[in-house]
Structure formats: C-alpha cells, structure tokens
Chain A
Amino acid sequence: MSAADWLAVWLTAKLAGLTTLLLLLLGTPLAWWLARTRSRIKPLASALVAMPLVLPPTVLGFYGLLLMGPQGPVGQFTQAMGWGRLPFTFSGLVVASVIYSMPFVVQPLQQAFEAIPERLLEAAATLRAGPLDRFFSVALPLARPGLLTAAVLGFAHTVGEFGVVMMIGGNLPGQTRVLSVALYEHVEAGELADAHRLAAGMLVFALVVLLALQALRRRMDGEARVQP
C-alpha cells in the first residue's frame, strides 16, 4: 500500500476516534435525558437525532457547504470567532461526522438507559444517593453493553462515511482524504488493485468489529446474569 493510502488509514482512524469520543461525551447526557424525560419536545428531539438515519448524506453535505460557507450562519460564526471556515478542513469533517453518526451513538445508549428499572434508581435515592451519584454508580455501569455498542457503531459508521466527506472535504491528503474517498478515487482512476486493497481491508474491518461486538456483548450478558 502506498504512503498516501496509509495516511488515509491514519486520518480515518483519527476522525472516527475523535468523533466517537465527542459523541460519547455529548450523546450520553442527551440519551439519559431522552430516556427519562416526559417533556413535550421529546418526540421532536428524538426525531432530530434520528434524521441522519433516513436522510441521504448528500443532504447533509449540501447544507454543510451552504451553512459552513462564507455566507452561511455557521461560516459567519466561525469566521467571527477567528477559527476560519470549516469546509475542506479536518475540523469540518469532525463537526459533520458528529451530526452524521449521532443516532448510532445516542439510540443504543437511550435504549440501555430505558431498560434500567425505575425502582433501582429509587432504591439508590432512598440510600441518599444524589442524582449525579445515581447516574455514575447505578445507571452508567448497568448501561455498559449499550455504551459499548454505541462506541463501536459510532466509530464504524464514521469510518464508513462517504457522501458528506465527498461534498465538504475537497480530497486533501492528510486533511480530508479519508479511506472511502481514497477508495473512490482509485476506482475512478481505474487503479483496481489499489482499490481492492482498501476495499477488502474495510470489509474485513467491518466484519471483525461486528463479530467482536457480539462476542463482548455475550460476555457482558453472562457477567450480568452471574451477579445476584
């Protein structure tokens, strides 16, 4: 594999890792709120989180270009803050990926939180555990399988991102030329051997990740059952 393709591998791992980390930080409180709230805006919030599941990535890419561009509100904001503009930058890809992969992290977390029986949290409350304490020592440990699923799916889905990156990336080596874009370029240029190396690698990666996830979840379920 060429140095340029290894750079794309490294860039993709960096993008997916950073996106997953940010999504776990942002998505956990959001998922907790969605799982517990009786607010009237909950259906709207859930729908907004789920939007990237049903929208073509080109919709996100198109609005990304317009909103983050020099005339767009996001672009005006980032320029006013002295951060420059987001399209064609690694930061731009991170922002887009966080939105694009959001449902893959928030939904498993929300389901895990919803599965926690209310009475366990109430029991903790009667033992004078405050809300934060209840969250960190009861809810989060119980939601571990959901947390794992969220992290793995968030990472894998960001690795598989293409349409959005294609539209706002500009194919810059080391900045925005991620694996899927590098693969596309090889296919279009007729460099099929290079394309095969990347495509087969991603295929194996996805399979291994999903198999590992199942194995880990089985082990966690086993542990959960052993505990009284």
Chain B
Amino acid sequence: MAFTLTDFKLWRSLASCWLASMALATQAADVQVAVAANFAGPMVPLAERFAASTGHQLKVSIGATGKFAAQIAAGAPFEVLLSADDTTPRKLVEQGLAVPGTAFAYATGQLVLWSPQAGVVDDQGKVLSEGRFAHLALANPKLAPYGQAAMQTLQAMGLADKLAPKLVLGDSVAQTWQFVATGNAELGFVALSQVQVPGKPLAGSMWVVPARLHSAIRQDAVLLKTGEKNPAAQAWLAFLKSAEAKAVIQTWGYTP
C-alpha cells in the first residue's frame, strides 16, 4: 500500500488542507436556506452568483412551504425561508421564529396549466371545461399556495365541483409537476418557472392563468431567528433584493 496510517507526510498534508479550509471558513460562511418547491429552478443560478460575489455558500433545501413551517417550529436549523406565500413568514414572525421586519416579497408567482404534450392545453384554458382527461393535477390547496390559486381558478371558472372527481393532489408543486411530467395526470396546475426554463423551448403546451382568476401568489422571504447572527444570511437576503437577482428571477417567469 502506498499510504499507511503512520505516513507522516500524508497526515501533514491533510492537516494543512484542514487548516486552509478553516481559514476560508472564517471569511465565507454557509447559509441554510429553505426554498419553496416552485423556486428550485432560479435557485441554481442565484446561489452560483451569490457565491461568486460574496464567497458564501448556500445550503439549499427544496420542499413544500407548509412542511418547512412545521420543521422550523420543531427547531430545524434553517436560517432563511423563501416561502411560496406571504402568510407563512408572517406566522413565523408572530410565533417568534422569524426576525420581525425582515420579510419582503422576492417574487410573485405565475400559475400555469401545463401538459407535456403539445396541443393538449389551449391558450384559453378551454380544455378544462371540455373535460376530456382522466386526471387534473394540482398542489394540495390546504398546503401549497399554488394549489390554493389553482382551486380559486377552478372556482372562478365554475368548474370546481364538476372536476372534483378528476383532481389528484400533489404534496407541493414539485410533486404536482412530477405527476404531469410522467404522464400519469394528463395536465396540471404548476408554476411557470417549472416548465419554462430560460433559453429553452417550452416542452408541451400551456395556458398562463390570468391573474384575475386567483389571488396573487406573493412569495415572501424572511430571516429566521437561527440566522439572526449570521452575516452571510443577511448578505443573502440583501443579494435577493439586488437588481442582479431580480433580473434572474424575472427571466424565470416571476414578476418582481
């Protein structure tokens, strides 16, 4: 064997690596960020740009906002929450789990009705009233803001009762997308950012749901109590408000 446990040189080089990484850690810190499932796409370029400009690394967890709220209440180590709504950050502040005055809207979400097949969804959403499909997927309206907006849309169109037997509920918009992408549900309500990746053509067909059919999907970010003393967490929130970040967020189909 080339290396043995008593190989002094190996240990010395390992030790110097460790020291070097410790030195870096004093300047650059990690931030634990919980991110709503619909925002997974833009998080990749945003985290890269943030790391490039500040040296701080984001540790990103993607999931349902409701689940994050329950986990944060149970002491999860997240320092920043990028919520899919504005009520969850407000509740966290009320519960003393988030820092008052730090919540702000980082994006307004865009709901779309989408099918991975071309020609299934028309640009007026008439496919819904025609009803020639077995399953319509949406996120659970009880748990996910996009699901709530989807349900409001169906109610506004007067189709909620008629389509009730055909609805399948995803735990978040991420699972809803997965139901539709695998073809198990012919179409579903998802976030525009999930289906329209910047620079790529749209796969399938979609209807961008007009904002008048549902209440606005205002997505707030908030600094959590655990991140109050982490300058990197504050730097991340500041970055999220910057023109650079806003430009990225807009290309993913959100209105700022």
Which A residues are within 8 Å of any B CB, using their own CB? 65-66, 68-71, 84-85, 87-88, 166-168, 170-172, 184-185, 187-190
Contact = CB atoms under 8 A, between A and B. Distances in A.
Contacts of A185: 140, 142-143
Contacts of B175: 167
B70 A171 contact: no
A170 B170 contact: yes
A88 to B, nearest CB: 5
B47 interface: no
Q: Which 9 A-B pairs have the closest CB atoms?
A: A170-B168, A188-B66, A171-B169, A87-B184, A70-B183, A69-B182, A69-B184, A88-B168, A65-B182
Interface in B113-136: 134-135
A188 B64 contact: yes
B162 interface: no
Contacts of A184: 171
Given A65-B184, A69-B183, A69-B184, A172 B66 contact: no
B91 to A, nearest CB: 8
Identify whether the interface residues of A are mostly helix, strand, loop, or mixed: loop
A88 B135 contact: yes
Contacts of A85: 134, 184
A88 B70 contact: no
Contacts of A187: 70
Contacts of B184: 65, 68-70, 85, 87-88, 168
A80 B69 CA distance: 44
A21 B183 CA distance: 31
B205 interface: no
22 contacts: A65-B182, A69-B182, A69-B183, A70-B184, A71-B183, A85-B184, A87-B179, A87-B184, A88-B168, A167-B175, A168-B184, A170-B170, A171-B168, A171-B170, A172-B167, A185-B142, A185-B143, A188-B67, A188-B143, A189-B142, A190-B66, A190-B69
B137 interface: yes
B250 interface: no
B179 A170 contact: yes
| Interface core residue of B69, B70, B169, B178 (most chain A CB under 10 Å) | B169
B147 to A, nearest CB: 11
Contacts of B169: 170-172
B70 A188 contact: yes
Given A88-B168, A170-B135, A189 B66 contact: yes
A199 to B, nearest CB: 13
A82 to B, nearest CB: 14
Nearest to B186: A70
A71 B137 CA distance: 18
A172 B137 CA distance: 11
Contacts, number: 56
B167 to A, nearest CB: 8
Contacts of A65: 178-179, 182, 184
Interface string B66-77: 110110000000
A93 to B, nearest CB: 13
Interface string B51-84: 0000000000000101101100000000000000
B44 to A, nearest CB: 22
B60 to A, nearest CB: 19
A172 B183 CA distance: 18
Contacts of B134: 84-85
B149 to A, nearest CB: 17
A87 B178 CA distance: 12
B183 A190 contact: no
A71 B182 CA distance: 8
A88 B168 CA distance: 7
A5 B135 CA distance: 23
A65 B175 CA distance: 12
Contacts of B179: 65, 87, 170
Contacts of B182: 65-66, 69
| Interface core residue of B140, B183, B185 (most chain A CB under 10 Å) | B183
B17 to A, nearest CB: 33
B117 to A, nearest CB: 10
Nearest to B135: A88
A152 B134 CA distance: 36
Contacts of A69: 182-184
Contacts of B178: 65
Interface string B149-180: 00000000000000000011111000100110
